[in-house]
Chain A
Amino acid sequence: MSRAQAFFRPVPVDSPVHRLAPETKVVAGIVISIGLVFNPEWSNVLVAAALVIAVFIIAKLPTSVLPSIPLIVKFALFGGAIGAAAAGEEPFVAGIGVGGLLDYARLIAVGIVMILWAGILSWTTGLTAVGFAIRRLLQPLGRIGVPVDEIGSVVALAVRSLPLVVDEIEVVNESVSNRPSPADLSDKPMREAFSYIGDTAAAVVIGSHRRARDLATAMVSRGSNTAPVPKRPGFRKIDILVLIAAFALCIAAFWLPGWPENTPSE
């Protein structure tokens, strides 16, 4: 079993969220994110955060799916919080200005909510199902002349190749990190390091182009370079309801007011 398969892998439980059509999850996630990005007020952030946590629980996802945060990102987040806290903006709580901290928390919360939406999609939907969903969502664009069959075939083959490509990148990366540093091997360390980056990229590119040639040969052997159009998904009532709710939330999000004290005048 490939190491890369842990990278877009549904949690093996059954839940209403798992059973939704992948299109529903994709569209609902995007629509709600748009509402959040265009009106990142506290009220809206809290509604979106509550929603994402509710969906997380309904999907029966354990908290252990959450990835660990790299140390450098932790430091950056902590440093940012210190800077924001020291700004001393209104409002004051016990004599300390927490306005900066609140603004900071709001910005980070927007980012986390967006990442969580993508995460929930990946933990409840297989990569292949997502590939099919992308292609079905692209289908209507065919009416305005977009070459949807070609894009669809490329998406399908890209999705199929993704785990292999990730594995190959890992192998090359391991090979690089297990060698003596290239800068030590030459009198022109900078130049050597640069050409080393090129060599590394070349190894990855050559590997993927070999796969591309295999794929082309396989397609010629099947007599077609067009992926079969995926079957319509099983849309159920619940999918329609979720989509209506998502659009309603998005529209409502544009009118939700912020708290006055959080929007200090210029």
Chain B
Amino acid sequence: MTQANDLGTSTPAQSHSGSERKGPLDAAEVADAALTAALVVALLAAGRVLASGSLFQVIASMVVAVLAARRRTRAVVIASCAAAAIALILGGLGPVSQAALAGVFGWCGGYGLKRNWGRIKSIGFFLLIGWPAMAFSVLFFYPAIALNGKLRKLVFDNVENQAKGFGNVLGGVGSALDTPVWFVGQFFGMDDFTVFRTTADALARAMESTAQFLIDNWLLLIPATEFVYTILYAVVIRAVGGAILRRLGEALVEPVGLALQPGDNASPLPVQLNGSALQRNGTTVTAPLHLEIMPGEHVVVEGPNGAGKSTLLDALAGMDNHDAVIRSGNVALGSFGGTARVGQRPEAQVVGTTVEEDLRWGLDTPIDIVATLADVGLSLPSDRPTSELSGGELQRLALASALRREPKLLLADEVTSMLDPAEQLRITERLNALTTTAVVRTTHRNDASPNDRRIVLPTVNPTMPAAIANTELRTIHSSVSESRLLRLRNVGFTHNPTQPWAHEVLKGIDLSIHRYEMIMIEGRNGSGKTTLARILAGLAERSEGAIDEADGLRRALAHQHVRLQLLRPTVEAELHSLAGVRTDGSDVDSDSGRQRTRSENLATSTELFELEHLMSRRIDELSGGEQRRVLLAGLVARGVSLLVLDEPLAGLDAGGRADLAVTLDRVRLAGTSIVVVSHDIDWAPPHVDQRLRLTNGKLEVVTP
């Protein structure tokens, strides 16, 4: 929606002209450092598993370079220390040296990127800082060899043995080959019968002397090799890291006030909105608003997607410095007795690794974990990792932490969206029972109580695509035919079947999918729906049962986070890449039997999904709904005839769902069958042909 071309949000380190801030990391720096450390560890682990360490080492260095270009050196050092510590525990000494190397090279690269240095200057800087660090001290491995005669001897003995051994093998092969040469040579009157033996011996000698040379000069050769490596790293990090930074700048457009607020003298109420519209990055996000919130008051904010409900709540939380918000006291976000905020997506609200750590985060006073959890109807062990919690549990955990602060102002953005109806009612009643706390919450469920003040925000920027004409859909509906695309018979799936943590996820699944059909599969977290989605999309193999597939069936999975599946910079490039159409318009593989070429398909599908006017736009400037349309259009043009969507509803309100429904209809107009997999049991797209529910690995039909 909004477009701005800055490199990110509140990055003090970005302008190097001013003096860099000193002191501990702020919230944004801690978060960036943490994700960078996690990414480095994950990449190094992947490099190990896939036995292609050096490629992943380069990518890990680029990830650190991106951090170094956007944040202070302090953040880079701390991220590298954290990554090295985790790597040490997970993988031992080798990964530590890799993490340290990624830290040093990443920092060198980021330092140059931040200052827009040319190639020569960057390489020079790398050689000055990165090379000595790599060759001598930072890497644990080399000092270990240099100082440790016995390990060195063992390694070098092995190098020598290999050279000698393969030399011997070569010599043997040479001698063996010379016998037939001698035999053949008799007929041609040759004198020299040892051509193979002499060549092999020469080769063997060369190998041995090379190995000996390497061993004799290791102290010189290791730094020399690293010299070359350093230059390669400098060039690659500068080129690719720069490109990543530019795209990151396009992607991170929404500014959020990421500064911690002082917690003393909390007095967030009363607060007023002075009648002007709220803006973000110079773009108007809400309609003009007159509003005053008094202590103890309960307000429900309603309105379609894009009306700025979340922006309003963030403004009330003091997260952006909006001129429109007038208050005399201190908002004290997150402090005891101040303002508490729970945002929309459950997984984005949690900070702790365990339930207990999450509840203790930011609170100095000791807390009764059991009672705090019971307050929102939860009963969890305090050492339960938060990564194992379901969406509904996460929402209630975040709410528990907010309530525990006994806030004067509670801001709750769609906090019951992942709950059962019964749980929802319970939470809504809990919030209604708050008397000394002012509550401002958004909802798409029409669950405001008579005592609540309702505010309905109008749409500011309508972006709704036109609905598909009913007659066209009726045609599709009636053409759901007997022609079967895919049939699962008694399919079961067991995770890690040979390992101790094996567990059965799916059992006895029978399912047929026909051409033009749209099927909805609902299931709670842990019901096995993601596994089923992967099996349907052909990404996972079943453990038992049988799967019949129509000839030439192409399947694809659209993930919940669409952006991860879009790779190229612009809409046009992305569509070409997805559909397999060359830049000159010809097909990659002109497979016979198809009546239409892919470029024709692509043109049709671009038109169908109304993407023509977006073709030259950058992917990262698009809204989430537009990104999904690009992905689906590309897959349809590639000839995908069965499309599986995993959790497409997550984070969508009524407007977003209507938009999704229209997009799904377009997919069917193109002749592609759809399976929607969702945790949401309240909503199914209109025009769905079959609704199924997955419970404990078993599939049953939902009767409407």
Contacts and interface: CB of A to CB of B under 8 A. Distances in A.
B150 A40 contact: yes
B565 A153 contact: no
A246 interface: no
A219 interface: yes
A212 B31 CA distance: 5
A207 B78 contact: no
B167 to A, nearest CB: 8
Contacts of A222: 334, 351, 361-362, 401
A131 B361 contact: no
Given A82-B165, A203-B566, A174 B30 contact: no
Contact of A224 (B31, B93, B260): B260
Given A117-B92, A168-B564, A89 B161 contact: yes
Contact of B86 (A150, A155, A174, A221): A155
B39 A204 contact: yes
B568 A199 contact: yes
Interface in A86-136: 86-89, 99-100, 103-104, 106-107, 110, 114-115, 117-118, 121-122, 126-128, 130-134
B386 A160 contact: yes
B165 A158 contact: no
Contacts of B88: 30
Interface in A145-161: 147, 149-151, 153-161
Given A11-B500, A85-B165, A221-B341, A202 B244 contact: yes
A134 B89 CA distance: 8
B642 interface: no
Interface stretch (B245-253, B286-294, B414-422, B478-486): B245-253
Contacts of A64: 498-500
B248 A103 contact: no
Contacts of A181: 588
A37 B582 contact: no
A215 B35 contact: yes
A89 B334 CA distance: 70
Contact of A220 (B91, B243, B319, B557): B319
Contacts of A61: 500
B85 to A, nearest CB: 5
Interface string A171-198: 1101110111110111100000011111
Contacts of A166: 42, 45-46
Contact of B385 (A118, A127, A154): A127
Interface in A44-65: 61-62, 64-65
B439 to A, nearest CB: 16
Contacts of B340: 221
B92 A223 contact: no
A41 to B, nearest CB: 7
Contact of A104 (B161, B248, B352): B161
Nearest to A182: B577
Interface stretch (B58-66, B429-437, B655-663): B58-66
B348 interface: yes
Given A185-B580, A206-B563, A224-B362, A156 B499 contact: no
B348 A220 contact: no
Contact of B248 (A157, A194, A202): A202
A217 B348 contact: yes
A128 B44 CA distance: 19
A154 B30 CA distance: 6
A144 interface: no
Looking at chain A's contact residues, the main secondary structure is helix
A12 B500 contact: yes
A26 interface: yes
Interface string B5-25: 000110000000000000011
B240 A122 contact: no
Contact of B563 (A134, A147, A158, A203): A203
Contact of A147 (B36, B41, B78): B78
Contacts of A240: none
Contact of A206 (B50, B168, B247): B247
B565 A163 contact: no
Nearest to A171: B564
Given A201-B244, A207-B563, A208-B39, A82 B582 contact: no
Interface stretch (B152-160, B459-467, B693-701): B152-160
A216 interface: yes
Contacts of B375: none
Contact of B90 (A118, A179, A216): A118
Contacts of B39: 165, 204-205, 208
A218 B349 contact: yes
Interface string B139-175: 0000010001011001101101111111011000000
Given A64-B499, A84-B162, A171-B561, 13 more contacts: A5-B387, A12-B501, A103-B154, A133-B89, A179-B577, A195-B243, A198-B239, A203-B565, A205-B63, A210-B563, A219-B361, A219-B362, A225-B30
18 contacts: A7-B45, A12-B500, A84-B162, A86-B164, A134-B86, A151-B85, A154-B33, A157-B34, A159-B38, A162-B38, A164-B347, A165-B39, A185-B581, A202-B247, A209-B32, A213-B28, A223-B335, A223-B362
